[in-house]
Amino acid sequence: MRVTVTAQTPIHHDNRLHAEKRLTERLGQYPQIENVSLVLTREAHRVDEWSAVARVELRHGTLHIRQHAHELPQVVEQLVDTLDCRLAQRKQRMTAHKGHSSVRTMDVGRTFAGL
């Protein structure tokens, strides 16, 4: 999973690292994610409001999510929570549709004939 965090307005380097860390921590459990792009913007037409727009590229599809909040850490947390919820719902729908999860686990203790 590749995570890219950009800003259309100047932000402190620590805020950028925090956003990248939160996305990597929370979304690392979803192997179907290939790329996450996050754009942070301070809204000029709204007083003290930040917006975050995320584009999550999956193996089979793309998610787009937008969040607004008054503080930058708050908008990042809201966005990560929303992404986590949407990905969990997507996984649940796929499991119900296919009858199994797209993530396969392997029994490590199992022995195979001929190996």
The rounded distance, in Å, linking the Cα atoms of 35 and 58 is: 7
pLDDT computed for residue 101 by the predictor: 58
User: What is the predicted pLDDT for the residue at 112?
Assistant: 46
Strands (E), the chain: 2-7, 33-43, 49-58, 61-69
User: Does residue 54 lie in a domain region?
Assistant: yes
Q: Return all residues near 68 (Cβ < 8 A) that are at least 6 apart.
A: 43, 46, 49, 50, 51, 52, 75
Number of domains comprising the chain: 1
Cα 20–chain centre separation:
10
Quick check: is 33 in a domain?
Answer: yes
- Does residue 103 form part of some domain? no
pLDDT for the residue numbered 44: 75
pLDDT of amino acid 102: 53
CATH number of the domain where residue 31 is located: 3.30.160.100
Question: For residue 18, what pLDDT is reported?
Answer: 92
pLDDT at 100: 64
Residue 111 is assigned to a structural domain of this protein: no
Which regions in the chain score pLDDT beneath 50? 106, 108, 111-115
Residue-number span of the structural domain to which 18 is assigned = 2-98
Domain presence at residue 109? no
| Residue 35 lies inside a defined structural domain of this protein | yes
Q: Say which amino acid occupies 12.
A: H
Residue 21 falls inside a structural domain: yes
pTM tops 0.85, yes or no: no
Q: Residue 35: its pLDDT value, please?
A: 93
